[in-house]
Amino acid sequence: MHFRSFEDIDLAGKRALVRVDFNVPMENGQVADDTRLRSALPTIHYLSGKGAKVVLIAHFDRPKGKRVAEMSLAPIVEPLAALLGEPVAFSDDCIGPDARKVVNGLQPGGVALLENLRFHAGEEANDPAFIDALAANGDIFVNDAFSAAHRAHASTEGLARRLPAFPGLAMRHELDALDRALGHPDRPVMGIVGGSKVSTKLDLLKNLVTRLDKLAIGGGMANTFLYAQGHDVGASYCEKDLAGTAREIIGLAGRNKCKLFLPLDIVVADRLGPGVASRIRGLGEVDDDERILDAGPETVARLIRAMEKSKTLVWNGPLGVFETPPFDTGTNAAAQAAGKLCGEGKLVAVAGGGDTVAALNHAGVTSQFTFISTAGGAFLEWMEGKDLPGVSALKVR
């Protein structure tokens, strides 16, 4: 992909409309996790340091085109200013007279945050009139919100086609990491896909088996594959109606010379609960009242051996019900092995998706992985091989 770089232009005095992701967790009106604020700092600092007037635009929650007081971005201002070490102006609208007044009042290097984009229906509708109103407050557009890049909204796709457009530093870092994982990876490249449902990851699985050398399937979705191969899964969660689809994916993997790793053994229990008695079972040894809740030790050991023979790893989804020990054992062991290989310079490991980030945090390895994406839906759609409108619109045309 070829993108313009804002390092190549004179930014002094220019109004830089910067799309950021400030859809942060809130508790009692306070920012509970400032990770997304911090990720925007390098781009803000760079633009501000070059004398640009930095105008931040973002959404929060789903107000559905109406003004909802509880979904205002106003509570972001103070913690953002503290992180930046400089004041942040705020407009109670993202377009119109108040926004214009705040933007016009900025000095070169100044920073402003405009109110929630989604207070206007035109944002999600990618409405041309709303795009015009947003563009009136900018000379250039910088998209630093990869997490919103899978949406063709006014502030992601529309503005990029209306103003000179550039990816932000966080966006570029994410795109570079993803390119190393699937675009131009060092081979062999391996994937781990877990989670509960095959039905939510059909596009993902079908794309990956055409692009990877190896793919390990874990979590609840592995039960569907085991069932499709004729193994009894007892009382486990299983999408039995997708057995045919599972067999189709197995066939597709074979035709594309992608080696599939399905469980060799499993960890079962009569019920899900912290510290409940669990047992290791071979395939076909599951009792009718038992539930498969984690990958077994032989399965995990084989998976680790496969990682050791790989150069690149793409990970989405846990191997078991990691939130409830002892069913975190398989995920923890595999994640810690991947982290160790990364630390030794033997593996490039890129991971993403909500449950994945939580699982790797739980395993204590997030700092060891090459890159962990918090982009959620955008990360998944990228793994599925889909076009991301907010990225495509930034390409040099």
Catalytic residue among 65, 109, 354, 376: 354
**Catalytic residue flag (residue 309):** no
**Catalytic residue flag (residue 36):** yes
DSSP β-bridge partners for residue 27: 30
Exposed/middle/buried for residue 188 (C-beta within 10 Å: 0-12, 13-18, 19+): middle
Q: How far is CA 169 from each of CA 69, 86, 177, 242, 245, rounded to the nearest angstrom?
A: 31, 20, 12, 41, 40
Cα separation, 24 vs 35, whole angstroms: 8
Q: Provide the token pair at 71.
A: 């979904």
Contacts of 361 (CB under 8 A, 6+ apart): none
- For 6, phi then psi, to 5°, come to -75, -10
Catalytic residue among 67, 100, 197, 386: 197
Q: For residue 376, which amino acid is it?
A: G
Neighbour-count burial for 357-394, b at 16+ CB within 10 Å, e otherwise: bebbebbebeebbbbbbbbbebbbbbbbeeebbbbebb
Catalytic residue among 36, 118, 180, 281: 36
Lookup result for tokens 């209306």? 162
**Catalytic residue flag (residue 320):** no
- For 347, phi then psi, to 5°, come to -150, 140
Cα separation, 143 vs 154, whole angstroms: 12
Nearest of 57, 15, 10 to residue 158 by alpha carbon = 57
DSSP string, 63-78: -TTS--GGG-SHHHHH
Cα separation, 19 vs 17, whole angstroms: 7
- The widest CA-to-CA distance across the chain, in whole angstroms, is 71
Whether the ω angle into residue 188 lies within 30 degrees of 0, i.e. cis, is: yes
Given a contact cutoff of 8 angstroms between Cβ atoms, the answer to whether 121 and 113 are in contact is no
Nearest of 92, 94, 82, 79 to residue 25 by alpha carbon = 79
**Catalytic residue flag (residue 377):** yes
Which are the catalytic amino acids? Answer: 36, 197, 354, 377
